[in-house]
């Protein structure tokens, strides 16, 4: 057997092995986004020299590159004149905006509350909004409506299709 034939045989064996064992690329495989970390039954505190400014708590939380996704979420803010908190079954916290789904409940220290099926809280602008129906109460006052826009900094409320009862003091 000549040396050339030997090397051709080795080369063909190696090419055959490469073809047989070459990894296949699956184009149909979807790449699922993987969270950076996950938390169970947690509370995240934001602390300043004055004390605890805000805290964010939940049953299950995921931190992705650009957002938090939280189950049984509650966001509380102690940095304003009145202590306030907003909770929901599911929350998405992205770019200082909290999008809430399922049993949204906003409470403020002065007794103002509202409930809705969904909502959005724009933390830098102190705006709480809903697209759908809501019920807002304070003491014995009650208002129903749709598309609520509550500015917590300026203490103003606007809504559509408003109906309710209000007790004058």
The 3-class SS string of 83-96 reads CEEEEEEEEEEECC
In a domain, 8, yes or no: no
Of the ranges 6-15, 75-84, 88-97, the best mean pLDDT one: 88-97
User: Is 9 domain-assigned?
Assistant: no
Residue 30 domain flag: no
Does a structural domain hold residue 81? Answer: yes
Number of domains present in the structure of the chain:
1
Partners of residue 86 on adjacent β-strands: 75, 106
Q: Show the DSSP H helices in the chain as ranges.
A: 3-21
| Spatial separation of the C-alpha atoms in residues 18 and 20, rounded to whole Å | 5
Could you tell me which residues are beta bridge partners of residue 158?
149
CATH number assigned to the domain comprising residue 85: 2.60.450.10
More reliable by pLDDT, 87 or 153: 87
Query: Does residue 138 sit within a domain?
Result: yes
- Whether 14 is in a domain gets the answer no
Give pLDDT tens digits for 129-159: 999 999 999 888 898 999 999 898 888 889 9
CA dihedral 96, 148, 139, 154 (to 10 degrees): 60
Predicted structure pTM score: 0.76
DSSP one-letter string for 93-109: EETTEEEEEEEEEEEET
Average pLDDT over residues 2-13: 85
Q: Which residues contact 87 (CB under 8 A, 6 or more apart)?
A: 72, 73, 74, 75, 100, 103, 104, 105
Q: Which domain, by its residues, includes 127?
A: 37-165
134 located within any domain: yes
Decide: residue 58, CB within 10 A, 0-12 exposed, 13-18 middle, 19+ buried: buried
CA distance 9 to 13: 6
In the structure, what pLDDT confidence band is assigned to residue 165 with cuts at 50, 70 and 90? confident
Strand runs labelled E in the chain: 37-48, 51-63, 68-77, 84-94, 97-108, 113-122, 127-129, 133-138, 141-151, 156-165
The answer to whether residue 116 is domain-embedded is: yes
């Amino acid at each position: 057997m000549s040396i050339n034939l030997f090397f051709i045989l080795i080369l063909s064996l190696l090419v055959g092995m490469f073809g047989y064992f070459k990894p296949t690329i699956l184009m149909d495989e979807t790449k699922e986004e993987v969270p950076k970390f996950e938390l169970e039954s947690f509370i995240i505190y934001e602390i300043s020299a004055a004390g605890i400014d805000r805290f964010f708590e939940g049953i299950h939380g995921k931190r992705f590159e650009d957002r938090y996704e939280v189950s049984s979420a509650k966001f509380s803010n102690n940095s304003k004149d009145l202590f306030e908190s907003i909770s929901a079954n599911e929350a998405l916290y992205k770019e200082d905006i909290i999008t809430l789904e399922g049993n949204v409940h906003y409470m403020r220290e002065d007794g103002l509350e509202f409930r809705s099926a969904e909502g959005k809280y724009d933390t830098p602008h102190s705006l709480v909004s809903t697209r759908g129906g809501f019920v807002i109460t304070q003491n014995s006052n009650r208002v129903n409506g749709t598309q609520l826009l509550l500015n917590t900094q300026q203490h103003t409320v606007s809504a559509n299709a408003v109906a309710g009862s209000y007790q004058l003091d």
